[in-house]
Amino acid sequence: MVENNQTTKTISVEKYGIKNAQVNYQLSSKALHNETLEKGMGKEASSGALAINTGEFTGRSPKDRFIVKDEITQDKVWWGNINIPFSPDKFDALYDKVVNYLSEKEIYVRDSYACADQNYRLNIRVINEYPWSNMFAYNMFLRPNEDELEGFDPEWLIVNAPGFMADPEVDGTRQHNFAILNFSKKIALIGGTGYTGEIKKGIFSALNFILPVFKNTMPMHCSANVGEDGETAIFFGLSGTGKTTLSADPKRKLIGDDEHGWTAENTVFNFEGGCYAKVINLSAENEPDIYNAIKPGAILENVEMDAEGNVDFENTSITQNTRVSYPIYHIDNIQQPSIGKNPKNIFFLTADAFGVLPPISKLTPGQAAYHFISGYTAKVAGTEAGIDEPVPSFSACFGAPFMPLHPTKYAEMLSAKMQEAGVNVWLVNTGWTGGPYGVGKRMALKYTRAMITAAMDGSLEEANKDNYHIHSVFGLQQPRTCPNVPDGVLSPRKTWNNDEGYYKTAHKLASSFKQNFKQFEEFANEEIMAGQPLGGE
Ligand code: ATP
Ligand code: MN
């Protein structure tokens, strides 16, 4: 059932500079679903979910993400090609153009908030040009109840106008699309792109500045769940490494699938109120929780459907990044509110397309810091003919595009918290086995799940106590045996059946690690440097 918390209240947006707009305030999910269909902007899938196309952009555009450089940000933000500066004057001028563009239009406004822990709650007003974008905000942000809506005091404003095209020459953008954060005005200004992920990642980036700088809280690009014993586990990882997939575990309560804060009071809370899952090759067998969450209230993005509205999850003709968003209550087993205790286990997920990292290994504190700062995964070159070499991809803190501060700021916080909490840290390769991409295959999901389960219930440690194999190239503690996983799967070298090729590739990847880490060496102590690979150069 679609939750229906339609309100009769209405609000004016004149104070934002939007004049004579027809405001649809706080429409229910169902109303937005229907509105999208009526306007011919989407279709209904046979599951009852809404299916839309995000248009030109089917993913985020990191090169068009700016931060206004002003008193608040200038000395704190790590400026560069990730956090690209934008002038306050240009922002004001562009903002005026965008609100002028939205004037006279029918628009969608919603009040919501981020951060499930009330002490950290950030109230957000979202103004959307399109109904389905507003429904996305309903799905992904936390939903105030009727009482909370009375006297709602919005702190941050998101202005989202996919149909507005910037003029780079005049507006100071790189091209026609942009996502700009202004910390002084507390505005996220998004235009020229309909990709919904920009909306949620805009607020994530804002919180990644606000929480560490003002609230002594460690923001994390990770998923989280909690076991029957009340133990929290968190899963860091870059896009496509398995945060959403692996946190949806019917035996554990889901806290959240993407963005969390770790507080000084030793709790972990979700920033969001929903999930945003990849649906490429989705099947009911492999990922039942996500599959079953696709029902009325969910929004499918950029998928192909047949005439009956059946989605072909294998079809990537629009994009590989097909998605579904849904409110978290579409998952059966959830933690309410979305808050857990200090984690006991931390997993770093990596999709190693070179197929050389062990499927699971245990990290020392130094290795944990080293791998957190490195943030390794691999990219497989799309489907272009002839290109089948994986490319290593390093993204500090497993989420550099969303981190306004210098990576070492987050790493210091995480190290301190990990030490205090006495967590186990595991590196999990959800990527390739039996050879690199093109030769080997993706690690079976059931084995990854079994390894994670064994790490969490202590049986992995029990089975390998004092007997971890130290990987000769990466120096990682590699278990030799794991409940419900064949021993052979645990040694990537053995799965290759080609020792020479394996070691050559492993050293090559180790070299990439070292090369990438050079930029951080001056900030790293001896313990962290001791966490680097033993091999490579
Ligand atoms: P994002 O940050 O973009 O949301 P994510 O970390 O949440 O990314 P997922 O949405 O969980 O990534 O994507 C993992 C993808 O890899 C899914 O499509 C999943 O089916 C697939 N997959 C295949 N094998 C495995 C495995 N062994 N472990 C985890 N995921 C796997
Ligand atoms: Mn995810």
Q: Does the active-site annotation cover 60?
A: yes
Q: Determine if residue 295 is labeled as part of a ligand binding site.
A: no
Per-position DSSP letters for 463-502, written without gaps between them: HHTT-PEEPTTT--EE-S-BTTB-HHHH-HHHHHT-HHHH
**What is the mean pLDDT of the segment spanning 139-162?**
96
Domains of the chain, CATH where assigned? 14-42+58-215 (3.40.449.10), 218-263+342-531 (3.90.228.20), 275-330 (2.170.8.10)
Say which residues have a Cβ less than 8 Å from residue 205's Cβ, sequence separation at least 6: 65, 181, 401, 402, 403, 404
Instruction: Give the ligand at the shortest distance from the Cα of 321.
Output: 1
Q: What is the pLDDT of residues 61-101, one digit of tens each?
A: 999 999 999 999 999 999 999 999 999 999 999 999 999 99
Cβ 492 under 6 angstroms from ligand 1: no
Q: Determine if residue 448 is labeled as part of a ligand binding site.
A: yes
Atom of ligand 1 nearest to the CA of 277: 10
State the pTM of this model.
0.96
Cβ 441 under 6 angstroms from ligand 1: no
Q: What is the pLDDT of residues 318-356, one digit of tens each?
A: 999 999 999 999 999 999 999 999 999 999 999 999 999
If you measure from the C-alpha of residue 203 to the centroid of ligand 1, how many angstroms do you get, rounded to a whole number?
23
If you measure from the C-alpha of residue 239 to the centroid of ligand 2, how many angstroms do you get, rounded to a whole number?
7
Q: Determine if residue 193 is labeled as part of a ligand binding site.
A: no
Q: Determine if residue 195 is labeled as part of a ligand binding site.
A: yes
Say which residues have a Cβ less than 8 Å from residue 386's Cβ, sequence separation at least 6: none
- Catalytic entry in 54, 196, 239, 377: 239
Q: What is the pLDDT of residues 108-139, one digit of tens each?
A: 999 999 999 999 999 999 999 999 999 999 99
Cβ 448 under 6 angstroms from ligand 1: yes
Residue-level length of the chain: 537
**What is the mean pLDDT of the segment spanning 428-437?**
97
pLDDT band at 486 (very low <50, low <70, confident <90, very high): very high
pLDDT band at 1 (very low <50, low <70, confident <90, very high): very low
If you measure from the C-alpha of residue 390 to the centroid of ligand 1, how many angstroms do you get, rounded to a whole number?
17
Cβ 359 under 6 angstroms from ligand 1: no
Q: Does the active-site annotation cover 323?
A: yes
Q: What is the pLDDT of residues 227-277, one digit of tens each?
A: 999 999 999 999 999 999 999 999 999 999 999 999 999 999 999 999 999
Q: Does the active-site annotation cover 176?
A: no
If you measure from the C-alpha of residue 328 to the centroid of ligand 1, how many angstroms do you get, rounded to a whole number?
18
**What is the mean pLDDT of the segment spanning 297-315?**
98
In testing the pocket of ligand 1, which one of 245, 290, 495 has its CB within 8 Å of the most ligand atoms? 245
SS (H, E, C) 267-302: EEEECCCEEEEECCCCCCCCCHHHHHHCCCCCEEEC
Q: How far apart are CA 37 and CA 42, in angstroms?
A: 5
Q: Does the active-site annotation cover 374?
A: no
In testing the pocket of ligand 1, which one of 222, 244, 453 has its CB within 8 Å of the most ligand atoms? 244
Cβ 244 under 6 angstroms from ligand 1: yes
Cβ 431 under 6 angstroms from ligand 1: no
- Whether the CA torsion 130, 136, 141, 147 is positive or negative: it is positive
Instruction: Check if the beta carbon of residue 200 is closer than 8 Å to that of residue 126.
Output: no
Q: Does the active-site annotation cover 201?
A: yes
For residue 2, pLDDT over 50 is answered with no
Q: Determine if residue 430 is labeled as part of a ligand binding site.
A: no
Atom of ligand 1 nearest to the CA of 245: 11
If you measure from the C-alpha of residue 35 to the centroid of ligand 2, how many angstroms do you get, rounded to a whole number?
27
From the list 246, 314, 250, 255, the residue with the least C-alpha distance to 282 is 314
Instruction: Give the ligand at the shortest distance from the Cα of 204.
Output: 1
Q: What is the pLDDT of residue 466?
A: 83
pLDDT band at 388 (very low <50, low <70, confident <90, very high): low
- Catalytic entry in 29, 54, 205, 244: 244
Q: What is the pLDDT of residue 141?
A: 98
Q: What is the pLDDT of residues 195-231, one digit of tens each?
A: 999 999 999 999 999 999 999 999 999 999 999 999 9
CA gyration radius, the chain: 23
Q: Which two tokens stand for residue 124?
A: 């957000």
